[in-house]
Amino acid sequence: MRWSSAWIVAVCVVVAEATSIPAEPREVTRYGAAQITEISYEQLDAADATEGETAGSGDWIEIYNPSETDKVDLTGWAFTDRSARAIEKNPEVAVGHWFELPELELAPKSFAVLARDEMAFRTAYRDRDNALDALVRGSFKFGLTAKGETVRLLDASNETVYELTYDDKSPWPDTSEGGHSLELIDVRLDPNDPFSWISSYEEGGTPGEINSIAVSWG
């Protein structure tokens, strides 16, 4: 997405008014229609990868619709790694940490993948059809820190519908050797509980498909 100069000025100058980035904290729905079910923030460098390993994909997240019957219209939704408080404190920086999804309907029991670098992801997962089929056009640009941070999904009305704060320290799963993602075990669990997550068994994670361990996926 390309930001217009008028929009950036509006965000920076009129933060407290009706901008495209909300200034006030919103009520979070943990078990809503769309959930983040996988996060990849530590990938292998191409130079360190052996044959058959996925490398150089850049950061990415996976979104899942757990409904048996209902589509989720993600058009105009946003992904950010800034809390509402951080946006209010420094809206100029927040503009660079905001990715608006294109026109997109997520079918029941299906996935969408957002990548920091779309082309790098396509290259890294060129032999994995599920990953490419789930990939959303566009790149979110900002990186996901390996030291842990807060990530959010907001709907087209700027309501926070999903918020997760992950970490790289125990009791959070260890992905420090690189090439492994954080995977949600069960969509019914509290995503802010570190015991709801594992480090992916599969190198490169499982973007666009059921996670390594899935107790319940609906």
> How do the pLDDT tens digits run along the chain, 218 residues long?
444 434 333 434 333 333 344 434 333 333 457 999 999 987 766 555 444 456 678 899 999 999 888 999 999 999 999 888 888 888 887 788 999 999 999 999 999 999 999 999 999 999 999 999 999 999 998 989 888 899 999 999 999 999 999 998 999 998 877 678 999 999 889 999 999 999 998 888 999 999 987 665 66
CA distance to 136, 145, 176, 203, 213, per residue, from 169 (Å): 30, 13, 10, 20, 21
CA dihedral 113, 48, 165, 9 (to 10 degrees): -70
Rounded to whole angstroms, how far apart are CA atoms 97 and 93?
7
Structural domains of the chain, ranges and CATH numbers in brackets: 5-11+32-199 (2.60.40.1260)
The Cα angle at residue 77 between residues 83 and 150, in degrees rounded to 5: 20
What's the pLDDT at 176?
A: 75
What's the pLDDT at 208?
A: 96
